[in-house]
Amino acid sequence: MPSTQSGLSIAFFLSFVLLTLWITFVAARRTHSTTSFFTAEGRISAWQNGWALAGDFLSAAALLGIAGIITANGFDGLVYSIGWLVGWPIMLFLIVEPLRNVGKFTMADLVAYRLNQRWVRSAAAIGSLTVILFYLVAQMVATGALIKLLFGIPYSTAVMIVGAAMLVYVLFGGMIATTWVQVIKAILLLAGGAVLAALVLSRFNFDPRALFQAAAQQFGERVLQPGEKVVPSGWEAISLALALMFGTAAMPHVLMRIYTVKDVRDARLSITYATGLIGIFHLFVLVIGFGCMVLVGPTVVAQAGGGGNMAAPLLALALGGEAFFGFICAVAFATMLAVVAGLTLSGVATLCHDIWTNVVRSGHAPEKEKMVVARVSTVLIAALAVTLGSIFEGQNVAFMVGLAFSVACAANFPTLVLSISWRRLSTAGAVSSILVGTVTCLTMILLSPTIQVDVLGKSLADLQSHWWFVPMRNPAIVAMPLSLATAIVVSLLTPEREAAEKFEALRDAIVFGPGEAAPHPAVVPVTAAGAKPQAL
Amino acid sequence: MTASNSVRSPIAHLVRLRWRVASALSLTMMVIYFGFMGLLAFHKAVLATIVAPGVSVALIAGPSIIVSAFLLCAAYVLWANKVYDPAVRALKK
């Protein structure tokens, strides 16, 4: 490990923090309403939002984690990259159009449109907050460990730094500052990835086949083939696929970003840009992983500690020297910071807009009060993230990411789709579906080897004799159909005439958008059956 | 799971059209992805086939899926901009 790791890389990182803090300072002067706090007043361009979406979604795991898996196991790492990408088109085709045209700040805006606001928003908030909290804690713990590894800063200090920086971004700069943090981070990450991949390919005449061939010669053809170690087989793999695809399509912090552009046209475009950027990045990481396998070697990476996470930084050191090593470490730090900021902001939107404004205050809260609630919620979530992050130091929290995707897939996705496609969806149907999806995921994970063996350290043989033992690690394949079936059965048992009558109004709102003079459904629920936007 | 077709208004027609395009594209993505994951889950040997030195079926399939995801998004945006949005604007008048 180079001695400059706490010099150069910290210098790089400090310049990132200073730049983003300056942006936050500028943004703070423009952040005085909930619209600017949560959506930057829709002034972000499609291109900027595409980068910001990529920044929001690409966590440190996408670079450090996947590169590490590829270095150690070859092809298998790519399976996760693919899973994180294929949800984007589904989100674009099924969810973006209705959500953007009907909603205001959160995904509950769409689900609650025809139904009982109070009940549906409470349930949707439970689903969203479960996703956000698990994802946030997993990110915080990974961040603390990685920063300790990369910079030699103690774990608890690292968690505090990240918590404090993210608090400042979100609290003062809201969506405007968070967007810029994401954009800058995404540019740094893609640039770093591109340079690293190019440096690798330059050793192989810019022919990826030569790189793969070199890997196969050194480590056997197995590195080009799917293995058994990191990727599950059988139905477990299908369950993982469901969670990755439909969970990504219903991630609250990603969906929130479609409100930051001026209209649905820009929302579609930004999702497409993001898909392209994330896709290209995953291809870079494929090259980086194989490059590290051939040029650095899996043994060296394993010896560096951190469960393979040092693969990309060590490759940077080997190919670009200490300055590049410092740069990649700083980019990884910035990446973690940006992801937690985005997650926090979407958690704040759920607490403030769904819970406070629409549940506690029945949709009528003064603007000033909403801003106070938003800021208090920001402090609360940041404090919770830092506290939980510190508590879980050294724990195996990798399952929390999988859990977040499973809950998003089972609790959020079915109701989102049914609310726009099925006239007879009732309040009771939507609420029970979200709760069944969330609880099933949590229970199944709790009783599965993921918790029982990996976290609690029980022996698999003992567990198999228990009736309650769940042999599957990924709950989505059970939880998602169960949640869907619950929505359908309960809705059929509790017909809701008013909800069915509002179906045409919702349909028109999806086609035409909110309309200039029409009361916003998120603020004033449409009461008259078949009420149409003024734009007609 | 199609949108209501009880009202044969131009809006209903447009909604049905968008729903058809959206579900066709979603299905394409799902067939591609679950086809790949199905092979990974139950027929790993297919993906493990080496077709040329340094090239396995898995290494062709992976990047192809990534590219297909982007192309499907681009196809939808193109359709929405060229066909759907003008139809919505025409209905607004």
pLDDT digits (tens, 9 = 90+) for A155-189: 999 999 999 999 999 999 999 999 999 999 999 99
Residues A200 and A324: their CA atoms lie apart, in Å, by 13
Hey, are the CB atoms on B3 and A421 less than 8 Å from each other?
yes
Q: State the amino acid at position A252 in one-letter form.
A: P
Buried b (16+ CB within 10 A) or exposed e, B51-65: eeebbbbbbebbbeb
Contact with chain A for residue B64, Cβ under 8 A: no
The pair of three-digit structure tokens given for residue A27, joined into one six-digit string: 């943004």
Q: How far is CA A431 from CA A427, A435, B2, in A?
A: 6, 6, 22
Chain A residue with the nearest C-alpha to that of B81: A265
Query: Looking at the predicted structure, is the pLDDT value of residue A140 above 60?
Result: yes
Q: pTM value?
A: 0.92
Closest CA to B44 of A225, A473, A79, A472: A225
Hey, are the CB atoms on B69 and A86 less than 8 Å from each other?
yes
Residue A459's Cβ-count burial label (10 Å; 0-12, 13-18, 19+) is: exposed
Contact with chain A for residue B66, Cβ under 8 A: yes
Q: Please give the pLDDT value at position A513.
A: 84
Hey, are the CB atoms on A279 and B67 less than 8 Å from each other?
yes
Q: Please give the pLDDT value at position A515.
A: 59
- Mean pLDDT of all residues belonging to chain B: 91
Q: What percent of chain A has pLDDT over 70?
A: 95
Distance, C-alpha A383 to centroid of its chain:
20
Query: Looking at the predicted structure, is the pLDDT value of residue A110 above 50?
Result: yes
Contact with chain B for residue A504, Cβ under 8 A: yes
- Identity of the residue in A282, A418, A421 whose CB atom sits nearest the CB atom of B66: A282
Chain B residue with the nearest C-alpha to that of A501: B4
Residues A444 and A476: their CA atoms lie apart, in Å, by 9
Query: Looking at the predicted structure, is the pLDDT value of residue A520 above 80?
Result: no
- Mean pLDDT of all residues belonging to chain A: 90
- Using an 8 Å Cβ cutoff, are A483 and A72 in contact? no
Q: How far is CA B18 from CA A511, B14, B32, in A?
A: 9, 6, 21
Count Cβ–Cβ pairs < 8 Å, chain A vs chain B.
165
Q: Which of the residues B32, B64, B73 would you substitute to probe the A interface, choosing the one with the greatest number of A C-beta atoms within 10 Å?
A: B73
Q: Please give the pLDDT value at position A5.
A: 55
pLDDT band (50, 70, 90) for residue A305: confident
In chain A, what residues touch B9 (CB-CB under 8 Å)? Answer: none
Query: Looking at the predicted structure, is the pLDDT value of residue A246 above 90?
Result: yes
Hey, are the CB atoms on A233 and B91 less than 8 Å from each other?
no
- Identity of the residue in B25, B42, B92 whose CB atom sits nearest the CB atom of A89: B25
Residues A281 and A54: their CA atoms lie apart, in Å, by 9
Hey, are the CB atoms on A536 and B92 less than 8 Å from each other?
yes
Q: Please give the pLDDT value at position A530.
A: 38
Q: Which fold has domain A3-30+43-512?
A: Sodium/glucose cotransporter (1.20.1730)
Q: Which of residues 24-43 of B touch A (CB under 8 A)?
A: 25-26, 29-30, 32-34, 36-38, 40-42
Query: Looking at the predicted structure, is the pLDDT value of residue A30 above 90?
Result: no
pLDDT band (50, 70, 90) for residue B8: low
Closest CA to A106 of A266, A274, A336, A260: A260
Hey, are the CB atoms on B19 and A79 less than 8 Å from each other?
no
Query: Looking at the predicted structure, is the pLDDT value of residue A58 above 70?
Result: yes
Q: Please give the pLDDT value at position A215.
A: 96
Closest CA to A187 of A338, A51, A15: A51
Residues A334 and A161: their CA atoms lie apart, in Å, by 12
Query: Looking at the predicted structure, is the pLDDT value of residue B1 above 60?
Result: no
Hey, are the CB atoms on B22 and A226 less than 8 Å from each other?
no
The pair of three-digit structure tokens given for residue A206, joined into one six-digit string: 């810019």
Query: Looking at the predicted structure, is the pLDDT value of residue A525 above 90?
Result: no
A324-370: per-residue pLDDT in tens? 998 998 898 889 889 999 999 999 999 999 999 999 998 889 999 99
Q: Please give the pLDDT value at position B88.
A: 92
DSSP string covering A344-386, please?
Answer: HHHHHHIIIIIIIIIIISTT---HHHHHHHHHHHHHHHHHHHH
- Domains of chain B, residue spans: 10-92
Hey, are the CB atoms on A286 and B44 less than 8 Å from each other?
no
Distance, C-alpha A357 to centroid of its chain:
25
- Identity of the residue in A235, A272, A421 whose CB atom sits nearest the CB atom of B77: A272
Residue A208's Cβ-count burial label (10 Å; 0-12, 13-18, 19+) is: buried
pLDDT band (50, 70, 90) for residue A32: confident
A196-238: per-residue pLDDT in tens? 999 999 999 999 999 999 999 999 999 999 988 888 889 999 9
Q: Please give the pLDDT value at position A130.
A: 95
Chain A residue with the nearest C-alpha to that of B54: A213
A63-105: per-residue pLDDT in tens? 999 999 999 999 999 999 999 999 999 999 999 999 999 999 9
- Provide mean pLDDT across the span A20-32: 88
- Using an 8 Å Cβ cutoff, are A138 and A404 in contact? yes
A400-419: per-residue pLDDT in tens? 898 999 999 999 999 999 99
End-to-end CA distance of chain A: 66
Residues comprising chain B, all counted: 93
- Domains of chain A, residue spans: 3-30+43-512
A493 or A4: which leads in pLDDT: A493
A474-487: per-residue pLDDT in tens? 999 999 999 999 99
Q: Please give the pLDDT value at position A535.
A: 34
Hey, are the CB atoms on B58 and A233 less than 8 Å from each other?
no
Rg (CA), chain B: 19
Q: Which of residues 218-247 of A touch B (CB under 8 A)?
A: 221, 224-226, 231-238, 240-241, 245
Hey, are the CB atoms on A216 and B54 less than 8 Å from each other?
yes
pLDDT band (50, 70, 90) for residue A528: very low
Contact with chain B for residue A413, Cβ under 8 A: no
pLDDT band (50, 70, 90) for residue A446: very high
Q: How close B74 comes to chain A (CA, Å)? A: 6
Instruction: Tell me the H-state helices in A357-496.
Output: 367-391, 398-407, 413-421, 427-446, 449-452, 460-463, 476-493
DSSP string covering A130-147, please?
Answer: HHHHHHHHHHHHHHHHHH
Query: Looking at the predicted structure, is the pLDDT value of residue A2 above 60?
Result: no
Q: State the amino acid at position A354 in one-letter form.
A: D
A390 or A536: which leads in pLDDT: A390
Q: Please give the pLDDT value at position A282.
A: 97
Q: How far is CA A329 from CA A1, A281, B72, in A?
A: 12, 17, 34
In chain A, what residues touch B36 (CB-CB under 8 Å)? Answer: 82
Closest CA to A42 of A259, A298, A208: A259
Rounded to the nearest 5 degrees, what angle is found at the Cα of A341, between the Cα atoms of A339 and A342? 65
Q: Please give the pLDDT value at position A396.
A: 77
Q: What percent of chain A has pLDDT over 90?
A: 71
Residue A435's Cβ-count burial label (10 Å; 0-12, 13-18, 19+) is: middle
- Using an 8 Å Cβ cutoff, are A311 and A136 in contact? no
Query: Looking at the predicted structure, is the pLDDT value of residue A533 above 70?
Result: no
A81 DSSP assignment: H
Q: How high is the ipTM of this complex?
A: 0.92
Q: Please give the pLDDT value at position A524.
A: 40
Query: Looking at the predicted structure, is the pLDDT value of residue B34 above 90?
Result: yes
